[in-house]
């Protein structure tokens, strides 16, 4: 009788070890999806990870430019996530996808030295106002308002 109980105990321990091993393999090497997004309004990063269809990570990361926007627009809390990159790992391999559209806030923050703090804030206010009629229009704003300023500055610098 003792032997049977002993063997049953070993068998159960082995089964438990197998299940734990399979779970480890599935989590470490199984399907995994990562998304990184950026808020169109403030430029915060948003990282999400799913393993086996379950969300295992969800982080919002502040940046220099999001701190800059926060100092101007402290009431902003409704983030507008635009997907920046995405990767999907299946059992066979990883597929990367991504269509990083660029972020006006990042560009404005970076251009402050060139166009000046006051102009950058003025353009940020215009950009935020244009977002009310849709983010595609806000994107046009970047092409029409900020790009020409930077191009002109470059030409002035290059001129003899």
Of 37 and 111, CB closest to Zn ion = 37
Neighbours of 78 (CB within 10 A): 8
Mask: binding to Zn ion, 97-136, rule CB under 5 A, as x and -? ----------------------------------------
Of 32 and 69, CB closest to Zn ion = 69
Q: Does 82 sit near Zn ion (CB under 5 A)?
A: no
Q: Does 84 sit near Zn ion (CB under 5 A)?
A: no
Mask: binding to Zn ion, 34-73, rule CB under 5 A, as x and -? -----x-xx-------------------------------
Give DSSP secondary structure letters for the chain: -HHHHHHHHHHHHHHHHHHHHHHHHHHHHS-EEEEEEEETTT--EEEEEEETTEEEEEEEE--HHHHHHHHH-TT-----EEEEEEEEE-SS-EEEE------HHHHHHHTHHHH-HHHHHHHHHHHHHHGGG-HHHHHHHIIIIIHHHHHHHHHHHH--
Of 20 and 61, CB closest to Zn ion = 61
CB of 122 to Zn ion, least distance (A): 20
Q: Does 79 sit near Zn ion (CB under 5 A)?
A: yes
Of 106 and 149, CB closest to Zn ion = 106
Residues near Zn ion, by CB under 5 A: 39, 41-42, 79
């Amino acid at each position: 009788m003792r032997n049977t109980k002993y063997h049953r105990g070993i068998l159960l321990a082995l089964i438990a070890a197998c299940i734990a091993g399979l779970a480890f393999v599935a989590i470490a090497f199984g399907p995994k999806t990562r998304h990184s997004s950026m808020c169109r309004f403030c430029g915060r990063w948003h990282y999400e990870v799913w393993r086996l269809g379950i969300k295992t990570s969800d982080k919002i990361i502040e940046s220099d430019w999001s701190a800059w926007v926060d100092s101007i627009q402290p009431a902003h809390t409704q983030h507008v996530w635009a997907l920046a990159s995405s990767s999907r790992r299946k059992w066979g391999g990883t597929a990367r996808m991504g269509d990083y559209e660029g972020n006006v806030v990042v560009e404005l923050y970076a251009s402050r030295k060139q166009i000046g703090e006051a102009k950058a804030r003025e353009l940020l206010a215009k950009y935020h106002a244009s977002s009310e009629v849709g983010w595609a229009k806000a994107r046009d704003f970047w092409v029409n308002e900020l790009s020409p300023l930077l191009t002109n500055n470059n030409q002035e610098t290059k001129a003899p």
